[in-house]
Structure 1
Amino acid sequence: MKSDTVRTPVEDRAISLNELAYLRFRQALITLQYKPGDYLNMAQVMADLEVGRTPVNQAVHRLAAEGLLQILPRKGVMVAPLSLDDAFELIEVRLVNELLCIRLAAARITTGQIAQLREVNARLAQASQQRDPLAMMQCDNQFHHLLAGIAANRRLMDILNIIHAQAQRFWATTLSDAGHMEEVIVEHNAIITALEEGNLSAAEQATQHHILSFKHALLTSSGR
């Protein structure tokens, strides 16, 4: 990874150095700026993130707990590898938790939140047209983060935050497929429309289709 500072969309608010290190490190992992299976040079990581040893060390332990890093005794810190088996397990977990999220969101969503979701999806479409992978990933993450917030269950939001971080590392491997990106945007719009119409069944079906479409994209990109 080159030594350009990793920036995150949240740096316009006051946050601690520990949180800053965590957010920058997490984004670098999610966007595959640090490659799965690679051992990390922690001095280089500190230079990349422009933060000191203590914040980076704390971030390492948080990210290991989230399954993005592995701490190996006498070997160092390794970026968690990616495997299709892991992806399929993740998809099973997503189906359960995201269907719960959409049920809660359907009961609580407001007109203003519908507008927010549409605005984020429009920015995702623009990023896709510009072939900007980082912007695409940020917009997709914001879309799902907004849905989790609308569901208004903090424990579920914590679970989804970890699941989405892991899922986005797999999704990053499919971003070169423009056709898949078009499908993602259409799928997001179907979820938004169902929520706007108060159609829970359609919202659940659209959510399930969106997750299974992710599985299909992974299988396609892997040649299976």
Structure 2
Amino acid sequence: MSKYPDQQYQLNNHLPVNQQIYQQLRREIVECMIMPGTALSEKEISARFAVSRQPVRETFIKLAENGLVQILPQRGTFVKKISIKRVNDGRFIRDAIERSIVLKAVELVTPAQMLLLEHNLKRQTLAVQNNLLSEFLAFDDQFHQLLADIADCPLAWETIENIKATMDRVRYMSLSKVSPPSCLLQQHHDIYSAICEGDAVAAERAIGEHLNEIIYTVSSIGEENSEWFEI
């Protein structure tokens, strides 16, 4: 049996090859389709994506920078176990950034942008109703990216994306039990309502409560899946 979800992946012409490989492997690691501790083979992944080894090496380097894999010279590349310290550090940084984002969003949001947020929440709702966890996480990310766009600071979202990979692993693992999507969806509605009402205090409080959710989930998830976490 293959240690990867499938043997082949069809690349497209819309993004550079290394970005497509990175996005696919990142998703598979975050969603635990590729398990912590798994050795990643340049040769096998090159064959799976039908590419040379160079874009695969570039992908491994980016995954390592985001804390998802460890590259050991002369030994190979391995999916890292989840670091609770890195999860907590990422949450701390993200909390500081996103509080500033929502405060700015309250000032700058336009009616058209409110409609984009509303449309996103409807798509989140459909994903929740149909128990589509991957789709819900994608719309969740899109919601937070829209907030950064409204605040006119897309670099803020780029920064968040670079630090949240380890957080995403815990977030995905918690969706079925500890932090169900319906709870997260309600928190998104609270953020949306506060921005709609122009209430900066409520918006900052709502985003803080939303991002603090991971503090309550990481210990429970760690106890249930101790073999996937660093000691």
Q: How far does residue 3 in structure 1 lie from its aligned partner after superposition?
A: 1.6
CA pair 62-139 structure 1, distance change in 2 beyond 3 A: same
Question: Which has the higher mean CA deviation after the structures are superposed, 203-212 or 120-129?
Answer: 120-129
CA–CA distance in 2 between the matches of 1:69 and 1:52? 20
Hey, what does 1:106 align to over in structure 2? 106
CA contact (8 A) 1:6 1:49 kept: yes
Look up the match of 1:28.
28
In 1: Cα distance, 2:10 partner to 2:189 partner: 28
Partner of 2:126: 126
Q: Within 1, Cα distance between the matches of 2:114 and 2:9?
A: 31
Q: Aligned partner of 2:69: which letter?
A: L
Residue of structure 2 equivalent to 1:3: 6
Distance 1:89 1:171 in 2: 15
Aligned to 1:187: 187
Q: Deviations over 1:155-182 (max 9, x none)?
A: 3222111133332111011121286221
Structure 1 residue 185 displacement after superposition: 0.4
The answer as to whether partners of 2:21 and 2:56 remain within 8 angstroms in 1 is yes
Instruction: Give SS of 1:139's match.
Output: helix
**Residue 136 (structure 1) aligns with:** 136
Question: What SS is found at the alignment partner of 1:70?
Answer: strand
Asked whether the equivalents of residues 104 and 151 of structure 2 are also in contact (C-alpha less than 8 Å), the reply is yes
Q: Which residue of 2 aligns with 1:151?
A: 151
Q: Which residue of 2 aligns with 1:166?
A: 166
Alignment partner of 2:180: what SS? Answer: helix
Q: Which residue of 2 aligns with 1:56?
A: 56
Is 1:19 matched with 2:19?
A: yes
TM-score scaled by structure 1? Answer: 0.86
The CA distance in 2 between the partners of 1:137 and 1:74, in whole Å, is 36
Contact kept, 8 Å, 2:83 with 2:166, in 1: the verdict is no
Alpha-carbon deviations, 1:114-165, whole Å to 9, x = none? 2222222222222222222221221212222222222222432221111333
CA–CA distance in structure 1, aligned partners of residues 121 and 206 of structure 2: 15
Unaligned runs of 5+ residues in structure 1 are none
Matched residue, 2:217: 217
TM-score by length of 2: 0.84
Does 199-208 or 48-57 show the bigger shift?
48-57
Give the 3-state SS of the residue equivalent to 2:67 in structure 1: coil
* SS of structure 1 residue aligned to 2:35: coil
In the alignment, is the contact (CA less than 8 A) between 1:145 and 1:161 conserved in 2? no
Alpha-carbon distance in 1 for matches of 2:137, 2:7: 19
The offset of 1:54, in angstroms, is: 1.7
Which amino acid letter does the alignment assign opposite residue 172 of structure 2? A
**Bigger Cα displacement from structure 2, 196-205 vs 25-34:** 25-34
Unaligned segments of structure 2, at least 5 residues? 225-231
Identity over the aligned pairs, expressed in percent?
25
Distance in 1 between residues matched to 2:54 and 2:64, nearest whole Å: 16
Give me the whole-angstrom Cα distance separating, in 1, the residues matched to 2:49 and 2:175. 24
Once residues 129 and 5 of structure 1 are traced to their aligned partners in structure 2, the CA distance between those partners, rounded to angstroms, is 31
Question: 1:48: Cα distance to partner?
Answer: 4.1
Matching residue of 2:228:
none
Q: Is the 8 A contact 2:29 2:35 kept in 1?
A: yes
Aligned to 2:206: 206
How far off its partner does 1:195 sit? 0.9
CA distance in 1, matches of 2:169, 2:213: 16
Residue 191 of structure 1 aligns to a residue whose secondary structure is helix
Q: Mark the CA change 1:7 to 1:223 in structure 2 (over 3 Å): closer, same or farther.
A: farther
